[in-house]
Amino acid sequence: MGILDFTWYYIVVFLVLLTILVFVHELGHYWVARRNNVRVEVFSVGFGPEIYGWTDSRETRWKISAIPLGGYVKMLGQEDLPEDGEEPRELTEEEKAVSFEYKTVGQRAAIVFAGPAINFLFGILVFALLAGTIGTAVPLASIGKVLKDSAAEQAGFMPGDRVISINGEPIIYFDELRTTVGKNPDTKLTFGVQRNDEQLVIQAVPKASTRTGEDGVATQVGLLGVEWDRENVEYERQNPLGALWFGIERTYTLTVAILKYVGDMLIGNRGTDDLGGPLRIAQVAGQMAQEGMIEYVHLMALLSINLGLINLFPIPMLDGGHLVFYGIEALRGRPLGPKAQEYGFRFGLILVLMLVVFVTWNDLVHLEVIEF
């Protein structure tokens, strides 16, 4: 595959992924809008001139547009703020009944929240589907890396070793290895080890380390100093309820991790070098697609959760910014004035554009385009 073919492959894979995620997000807005009797005028995948489209029986124009870098749902009454001196169009009584603007604060908030919400739901369902069909990866007791100056290095463990027993008790999974070692700080343990075609007996003394639990109690745990082999796993298929719970748990864990990452960046505990934009996402999407459809679909679920969470950030222009305005409206009993909303959206637009420029610059540095 030539460099141009390779580049086009990355672009196409990324655009397919982005189109699916945007469609899912906008479908959330559309579905809840229809449930609240709001007329949806346009459902567009992409921006710019229409390439292909049709109008359904509910007068919604479904279309695919020329620039496949996003999309939108346009509802009756969901107008842009008027320019200075321009009066908004007066709606008829029939139009007011199906207008977004004339719905209650709760209805409007539900319609806006539905976009990010369905991204989370999509992530849960994809993780659940993978867990129920392919299974969840359970690491076997194989050693991928031996840490320097660790008990494992001193005892003679090597990458590729597989622990098959500890003190005569069979060991299959890495969690079993971790648990047994953790319960025996400063205690000599006898490991049965499979190394290539031979079986060895290795004795090691896990080093004691103090760990503080969530209850604030400090305990001594043993550390062997090894990391599991990421390529040596066993897939365990889940039943429907187990798969659904795995999807919920996985989505929750990722959401907390993302929020912690953002929080660490804001307080200066973490740099911004790892913050990527479209170019880096395209690179990762291409790599995942090459590894297989499972990895590609997994990435799709990860990005869906990211998309849902980012859209909930309280920044005007994003869904979270709209929700903040609706919250203020609910507290005040009336919406913010047009000027306040206009300034808010302009500030949000500037902030979003600055972020886009920043992450794109990060991408160019990461991909060494700047150096080139």
Tokens for 163, please give them: 């622990």
Whether 26 is a known active-site residue: answer yes
> Is residue 202 a contact partner of residue 191, using CB atoms and an 8 Å limit?
yes
* Of 201, 163, 195, nearest in space to 180 by CA: 163
Quickly list DSSP for 69-116.
Answer: EEEEEEETT-PPPPPTTPPPPPPPHHHHHT-STTS-HHHHHHHHHHHH
Dihedrals phi, psi of 76, to nearest 5 degrees: -60, 130
Report the C-alpha gap between 109 and 74 in whole angstroms.
16
* Of 74, 42, 45, nearest in space to 55 by CA: 42
> Is residue 21 a contact partner of residue 119, using CB atoms and an 8 Å limit?
yes
Tokens for 150, please give them: 């660790």
Contacts of 202 (CB under 8 A, 6+ apart): 155, 156, 157, 190, 191, 193
Element (H, E) at 244: helix 240-266
Contacts of 176 (CB under 8 A, 6+ apart): 141
* Of 123, 125, 110, nearest in space to 30 by CA: 110
Report the C-alpha gap between 154 and 163 in whole angstroms.
16
Active site residues: 26
